[in-house]
Structure 1
Amino acid sequence: MSGTGWSIKLYHAADEAIWVLRLNCCWLGFTLLGGVLFGIGPASLAAYSLARRRTFGESFHIVPAFTTAFRREFRRGTLLGLPLAAAAIVLIGNYLLFASLGQKATLPRLGSLLALVALGVITAYLLPMAVHFDLGVRELLPKASLIALARPASSVILLFVALSIAYVSVRFPVFGILLAGGAWIQLDTWLCLRFFAENEARLHLKGNS
């Protein structure tokens, strides 16, 4: 029984690793297909859409499903992805500039870093929210910002997971190339779907009280 149990767990672990690898490859491939700047938004929404379906136990062929999702989300993904990418580029540029100025620019450097972290946390909620709820592009940023502020413990968990994946990617570059993006997308989706469900349940209880 014990051997059978371990073999089943090993099978599921291998299956998840292969899924993450395939998701990562599709995400990177379609991002490059869109010229990076115009590809990262639609590719990210497509990846999150498939990660959501995977979380709910759906079975599908990833390449045709990703292609369909990429085409469907191209406009919305571009509208979401370009401003987020532009903001990240500006904040990273500011951080590097202030870092080069030494101690006299410590405060603006830390301010840029905090703003970059805040942008990352909000984006971690925004992308799963975009594929889970029927919301317009203009509604997503305020709602994602609100839930990030309203659920600090959840935001810390997301930040910890992101930093852990980043740390492992730096220590093991092969992991970073082959698995990091897909692992983050799947974990972020899995966690956020649970955070959303908990938040809706809490709001429902308040509404009935």
Structure 2
Amino acid sequence: MYQISTVIYSFFYLNVLWCFFTLLGGGIFGLFPATLTVYTMLRCQLTTGEWVVSFREFWLIYRANFRPMIKPALLMYGVGYVLLLNNQYLEGLAGRPLGYVSLLLGLLFVAYCLIFFPVHAHFKLSFKEGMLKPFYVLMANPVLGMVSILMFLFSEWAVIHTAGVFLLFVISVPAYVCMRLYWLYFEKLTLKGM
């Protein structure tokens, strides 16, 4: 019972820290470093088996990730905005056939975004490597990308439909599900020597 309450508290506190530091970074600029910090702390939990969620740890990781995450954040915001405009334009211009192509591109972008944070939490990468490696992982295992979308949506749905718990676990539970999935994949690659 104590372990269950520790896990619930850790998820809750991680979510509170994520909200606080996202706002501290000015919203759109704080979102990427705060989310990467959540994934990094979850990776630490997966590797050590211990929950170490503290304000100080979160701050240190967040501060180290703030500057390096600005360029990827701006690039991904830009790509997401272009895809959104493209979807609206193509649907209005040609109707359904091109709308499906745009939907497929949108799903690939969402899968890329879900892979982006676990890859950055697991590997220490430069800007160029950090933008390409999630794409390589997605192309090497597209099923894993689709499974991560489904698992993320399911965990998000479960959090939303659990009365009153939505704001308490909105990022921590879905992030844990995705990080666990990719952590297992990265461990399998490490065992194969890749």
TM-score (norm 1): 0.80
Task: After TM superposition, give the deviation of residue 169 of structure 1 in Å.
Answer: 4.5
Residue 45 of structure 1 aligns with an amino acid whose one-letter code is L
2:147 to 157, 161, 170: 157
2:10 to 19, 41, 45: 19
Residue 27 of structure 2 aligns with an amino acid whose one-letter code is V
Confirm or deny: 8 A CA contact 2:10 2:51 kept in the other structure.
no
- Shift of the 108–170 alpha-carbon distance from structure 1 to 2, 3 Å rule, reads farther
- The reply to whether residue 81 of structure 1 matches residue 73 of structure 2 is yes
Residue 125 of structure 2 aligns with an amino acid whose one-letter code is L
2:34 to 29, 43, 46: 43
Residue 133 of structure 1 aligns with an amino acid whose one-letter code is F
Quick one: distance in 2 between partners of 1:60 and 1:171?
A: 28
Confirm or deny: 8 A CA contact 2:41 2:52 kept in the other structure.
no
3-state SS in 2 of match to 1:134: coil
Quick one: distance in 1 between partners of 2:21 and 2:166?
A: 18
Quick one: distance in 1 between partners of 2:9 and 2:99?
A: 39
Instruction: Provide the residue aligned with 1:5 in structure 2.
Output: none
Residue 65 of structure 1 aligns with an amino acid whose one-letter code is E
3-state SS in 2 of match to 1:64: helix
Instruction: Provide the residue aligned with 2:95 in structure 1.
Output: 105
The sequence identity of aligned pairs, in percent, is 22
3-state SS in 2 of match to 1:38: helix
Confirm or deny: 8 A CA contact 1:43 1:77 kept in the other structure.
no
**Comparing 109-118 with 138-147, which one deviates more in the overlay?**
109-118
3-state SS in 2 of match to 1:26: helix
3-state SS in 2 of match to 1:135: coil
- Shift of the 124–66 alpha-carbon distance from structure 1 to 2, 3 Å rule, reads same
- Shift of the 44–199 alpha-carbon distance from structure 1 to 2, 3 Å rule, reads same
Task: After TM superposition, give the deviation of residue 176 of structure 1 in Å.
Answer: 3.0
Q: Give the 5 Å matches for 1:156-175.
A: 156-172=146-162, 174-175=164-165
Task: After TM superposition, give the deviation of residue 88 of structure 1 in Å.
Answer: 2.2
Confirm or deny: 8 A CA contact 2:118 2:182 kept in the other structure.
yes
Instruction: Provide the residue aligned with 1:3 in structure 2.
Output: none
Quick one: distance in 1 between partners of 2:182 and 2:78?
A: 24
Quick one: distance in 1 between partners of 2:137 and 2:184?
A: 13
Q: Which runs of 5+ in 2 are unaligned?
A: none
Larger Rg: 1
Q: Which runs of 5+ in 1 are unaligned?
A: 1-7, 205-209
Task: After TM superposition, give the deviation of residue 192 of structure 1 in Å.
Answer: 0.9
Quick one: distance in 1 between partners of 2:50 and 2:157?
A: 31
Instruction: Provide the residue aligned with 1:67 in structure 2.
Output: 59
- Shift of the 17–74 alpha-carbon distance from structure 1 to 2, 3 Å rule, reads same
Confirm or deny: 8 A CA contact 2:119 2:134 kept in the other structure.
yes
